[in-house]
């Protein structure tokens, strides 16, 4: 799509199967979609597969624009993903990152992909539903099955008018099966939480952990009826599902960051030196220093990783709710809109000279570059989207990404066994709604700063 846009311009109307699809690939066009006409593009298209998976868009991520979406999103933003709540999970992050580091210290070769997936899954699981979740593996397996189905490029989604294609593709059937399996697990988790809350009525926290988990917060809101429109159990399960679905991206970006640092040893050295200067004497990463922005180069590394490897490369699709104009082009109502965040991050116009190079230093080259950030105001770098539908999980996701990356660089040097030239590390991407590395990442850890608890 980037190559097509180079030929046909930053606003292209394609027909993908039967679906009219607008692809925007410039900063100006992205601003039109996510800022100037944000309300007109604030809905999501519901493909047959997604409709099955989300019960007709009853979650937040894929919900059509409207009161239900607004209500659930507000609960997620205010009650679950606020700065205060993200901070409350600091102990969870410390515990899970430390567990990963201990596992690395015990192995001559470390499966980085599996370790990062486990780190993100376990941290999210503890934050969302508490420490004692016996259904963990089933839930994660089902979510893993959902992700490729959510990509939107299943034949049933591209030729919605054809019943034969729908039947042959099987995607809708698989999405329904996933939804049912996730629903059964969430039912059990919610029932168990309710029982524990009843047992502990008056004093305890019901989840088994030392901090209130997301599910407890939601169940309390359900019980005390403090919201204008009370949350029902269906709402709660959809919100929890989205927390899991949204979080997976954190492991995608961590894996890309480690791969880029391996390929670019000078960046690795500089980042590790900065982290060790800050934390080696304390023996562990300290989130206060991370939040205070003391580790500037680490932040540049993370921004540079998001620039080259937008984890959701086409963002989550939007749909026009009314006829609209984008940079002078008419866009009919009902057009699916893809913002090519991946192409924006690699565009020579915004990243002059070396857009394909991993060079975190670019963010210290001048004041304008240093000011570019991830919060949806700079449309050349929009890994979390922008506007009304922007990712509400950014603070939660970034807190873990920063902490985990700092921990990996503090305690170990990293090498790829058997790879003489790190520049040759394979960087092929896998196709999906999220773009992870195609191949695994087996690394050799060389201990530099002792890992606590060993
Ligand atoms: C590195 C981490 C993450 C990345 C790169 C990411 C990226 C995105 C993107 C691109 C969107 C669509 C934005 C748009 O349409 O403009 C999105 C939406 C969303 N994300 Fe994230 N996300 C991340 C982490 C998380 C986490 C940790 C959570 C939850 C705890 C989360 C929950 C959501 C939700 C609920 C939405 C839907 C928002 C809506 O449609 O109103 N995300 N995310």
Determine the distance separating the centroid of ligand 1 and the alpha carbon of 243, expressed in angstroms.
9
For residue 242, give the ligand 1 atom closest to its CA.
35
pLDDT of amino acid 132: 65
Output the tens digit of pLDDT for each of the chain's 454 residues.
999 999 999 999 999 999 999 999 999 999 999 999 999 999 999 999 999 999 999 999 999 999 999 999 999 999 999 999 999 999 999 999 999 999 999 999 999 999 999 999 999 999 999 876 788 888 888 888 887 788 777 888 889 888 888 777 788 999 999 999 999 999 999 998 888 887 776 555 544 556 899 999 999 999 888 888 889 999 999 999 999 989 989 999 999 999 999 999 999 999 999 999 999 999 999 998 888 878 999 999 999 999 999 999 999 999 999 999 999 999 999 999 999 999 999 999 999 999 999 999 999 988 888 899 999 999 999 999 999 999 999 999 999 999 999 999 999 999 999 998 999 999 999 877 788 899 999 999 999 999 988 7
In DSSP terms, which residues pair with 148 in a beta bridge? none
Determine the distance separating the centroid of ligand 1 and the alpha carbon of 108, expressed in angstroms.
35
| Degrees, nearest 5: CA angle 204-208-79 | 75
CA distance 222 to 216: 10
246, 248, 336, best to mutate for ligand 1 pocket (most atoms within 8 Å of CB):
246
Query: If DSSP states are collapsed to H, E and C, what string results for the chain?
Result: CHHHHHHHCCEEEEEECCEEEEEECCHHHHHHHHHHCCCCCCECCCCHHHHHHCCCCCCCCCCCCCHHHHHHHHHHHHHHCCHHHHHHCHHHHHHHHHHHHHHHHCCCCEEHHHHHHHHHHHHHHHHHHCCCCCCHHHHHHHHHHHHHHCCCCCHHHHCCCCHHHHHHHCHHHHHHHHHHHHHHHHHHHHHHHHHHHHHCCCCCCCCCCCCCCHHHHHHHHHHHCCCCCCCCHHHHHHHHHHHHHHHHHHHHHHHHHHHHHHHCHHHHHHHHHHHHHHHCCCCCCCHHHHHCCCCHHHHHHHHHHHHHCCCCCCCCCEECCCCEEECCEEECCCCEEEECHHHHHCCCCCCCCCCCCCCHHHHHCCHHHHHCCCCCCCCCCCCCCCHHHCCCCHHHHHHHHHHHHHHHHHHEEEECCCCCCHHHCCCCECCCCCCCECCCCEEEEEECCCCCCC
Q: What are the contacts of 425-433 at 24+ separation with CB within 8 A?
A: 425/259, 425/262, 425/263, 427/259, 427/263, 429/309, 431/151, 432/147, 432/148, 432/151, 433/147, 433/148, 433/150, 433/151, 433/152, 433/312, 433/316
127, 384, 401, 436, best to mutate for ligand 1 pocket (most atoms within 8 Å of CB):
384
To which residue do tokens 């567990």 refer? 99
Determine the distance separating the centroid of ligand 1 and the alpha carbon of 196, expressed in angstroms.
31
Taking Cα atoms as reference points, which of 333, 336, 330 lies closest to residue 318?
336
Determine the distance separating the centroid of ligand 1 and the alpha carbon of 246, expressed in angstroms.
5
Question: Is the ipTM reported for this complex over the cut 0.95?
Answer: yes
For residue 124, give the ligand 1 atom closest to its CA.
30
Whether the predicted model's global pTM rises above the 0.90 cut = yes
Q: Give the Å distances, CA to CA, from 222 to 75, 230, 231, 328.
A: 11, 6, 5, 47
Nearest CA owner, ligand 1 atom 6? 384
| Degrees, nearest 5: CA angle 260-262-267 | 75
Dihedral of CA 365/367/370/374: which sign? negative
Pocket lining for ligand 1, CB < 6 angstroms: 60-61, 73, 76, 81, 242-243, 246-247, 249-250, 253, 311-312, 315-316, 383-386, 389-393, 396-397, 401
Residue 331 dihedral angles phi and psi, to the nearest 5°: -120, 115
CA distance 188 to 321: 37
Q: Is 149:175 a contact under the CB 8 Å cutoff?
A: yes
* Alpha-carbon dihedral angle through residues 208, 210, 213, 218, given to the nearest 10 degrees: 80
Residue 391 is labelled as binding a ligand: yes
For residue 61, give the ligand 1 atom closest to its CA.
37
Q: Is 147:433 a contact under the CB 8 Å cutoff?
A: yes
Determine the distance separating the centroid of ligand 1 and the alpha carbon of 393, expressed in angstroms.
6
Determine the distance separating the centroid of ligand 1 and the alpha carbon of 283, expressed in angstroms.
33
Q: Give the Å distances, CA to CA, from 343 to 310, 376, 432.
A: 9, 16, 16
For residue 398, give the ligand 1 atom closest to its CA.
1
Taking Cα atoms as reference points, which of 254, 220, 241 lies closest to residue 63?
241
Q: Which two tokens stand for residue 179?
A: 């939804």
Q: Is 89:211 a contact under the CB 8 Å cutoff?
A: yes
For residue 318, give the ligand 1 atom closest to its CA.
15
């Amino acid at each position: 799509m980037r190559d097509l846009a180079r030929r046909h311009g930053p606003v292209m109307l394609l027909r993908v199967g039967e679906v009219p699809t607008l692809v925007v690939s410039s900063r100006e066009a992205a601003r039109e979609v996510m800022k100037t006409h944000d309300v007109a593009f604030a809905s999501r298209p519901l493909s047959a597969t997604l409709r099955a998976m989300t019960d007709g868009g009853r979650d937040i991520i894929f919900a059509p624009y409207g009161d239900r979406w607004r209500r659930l999103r507000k609960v997620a933003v205010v009650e679950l993903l606020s700065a205060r709540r993200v901070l409350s999970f600091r102990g969870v992050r410390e515990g899970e990152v430390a567990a990963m580091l201990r596992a690395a210290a015990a192995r001559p070769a470390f499966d980085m992909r599996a370790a990062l997936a486990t780190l993100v899954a376990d941290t999210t699981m503890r934050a969302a539903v508490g420490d004692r979740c016996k259904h963990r593996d089933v839930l994660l397996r089902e979510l893993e099955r959902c992700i490729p189905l959510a990509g939107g490029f299943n034949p049933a989604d591209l030729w919605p008018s054809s019943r034969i294609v729908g039947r042959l593709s099987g995607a809708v059937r698989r999405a329904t099966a996933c939804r049912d399996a996730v629903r059964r697990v969430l039912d059990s988790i919610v029932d168990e939480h309710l029982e524990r809350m009843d047992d502990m009525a008056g004093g305890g926290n019901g989840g088994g952990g030392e901090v209130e988990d997301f599910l407890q917060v939601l169940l309390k809101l359900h019980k005390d009826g403090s919201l204008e429109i009370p949350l029902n159990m269906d709402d709660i399960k959809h919100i929890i599902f989205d927390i899991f679905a949204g979080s997976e991206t954190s492991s995608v970006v961590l894996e890309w960051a480690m791969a880029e640092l391996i390929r670019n040893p000078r960046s690795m050295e500089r980042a590790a030196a900065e982290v060790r200067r800050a934390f080696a004497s304390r023996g562990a990463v300290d989130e206060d220093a991370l939040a205070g922005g003391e580790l500037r180069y680490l932040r540049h590394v993370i921004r540079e990783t998001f620039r080259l490897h937008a984890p959701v490369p086409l963002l989550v699709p939007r749909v026009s709710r009314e006829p609209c104009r984008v940079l002078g082009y008419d866009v009919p109502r009902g057009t699916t809109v893809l913002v090519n965040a991946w192409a924006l991050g690699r565009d020579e116009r915004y990243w002059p000279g070396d857009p394909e190079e991993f060079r975190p230093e670019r963010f210290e080259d001048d004041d304008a570059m240093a000011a570019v950030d991830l919060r949806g105001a700079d449309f050349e770098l929009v890994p979390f989207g922008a506007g009304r539908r922007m990712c509400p999980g950014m603070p939660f996701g970034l807190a873990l990404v920063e902490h985990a990356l700092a921990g990996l660089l503090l305690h170990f040097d990293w090498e790829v066994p058997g790879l003489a030239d790190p520049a040759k590390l394979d960087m092929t991407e896998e196709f999906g709604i999220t773009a992870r590395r195609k191949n695994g990442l087996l690394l050799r850890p060389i201990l530099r700063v002792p890992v606590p608890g060993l």
